[in-house]
Amino acid sequence: MDTDGIPISGVGIRLGGTQSRLTITDALGNYHFDNVETNGFYTVMPTRANYRFSPEAQSFSALGHHIDAAFIGSYADERANPLDTTEYFVRQQYLDFLGREPEEAGLTGWVNTINNCRSGDSGQPDRSCDRVHVSEMFFRSLEFQQRGYFLYRFYSRDFPSSRLTSSESTAS
């Protein structure tokens, strides 16, 4: 949550240590990691473009079944384009194409796909794992084809673009 007590959604929460995981806060600023090994030592770190968090990270030993790690976020002085961060980019693909927040496994998989993308012979990112490829895979996904694309196809049929004729454009 922020300094005024308002929840911050879309914060990437990284779990490091015995397990490495990634999730996103929901609309109420909450997050959770399922099936975390209880005999490990962990560090939880929040990240979101244009925010600073206090504390920057929290470390703990998971001896119980429920551990809280709360953070206070405030706007950062310097501004960055959120799309430059991989977590934000992937989350936005889920919101734009699928209309929902990402699940932990999907978020982690796509973030790792982009972050581990190697450069090809020309020094450019490999086209099989860059951001364009990831967007293409969201567009081609069965979930999008069954939901979002269904509406997209009918939109162009039911709401054709209106074009002004020459007589309409000169009328006042």
Measured CA to CA, the distance from residue 146 to residue 124 in angstroms comes to 33
Question: What's residue 37's pLDDT?
Answer: 83
Question: What's residue 146's pLDDT?
Answer: 81
Measured CA to CA, the distance from residue 49 to residue 26 in angstroms comes to 16
Q: Which residues pair with 74 in a beta bridge?
A: 52
Residue 6: both structure tokens together = 């308002």
Rounded CA Rg of the chain: 21
Residue 21 CB contacts under 8 Å (≥ 6 apart), including other chains: 14, 15, 33, 36, 104, 108
Q: How do the pLDDT tens digits run along the chain, 172 residues long?
A: 888 889 999 899 999 988 889 998 988 999 988 888 878 888 999 999 899 999 999 888 876 666 778 899 998 888 888 888 899 999 999 988 888 889 998 999 899 988 888 776 666 667 667 888 888 888 888 888 887 666 666 666 666 664 434 444 444 4
Pick from 89, 87, 93, 73: nearest CA to 8: 73
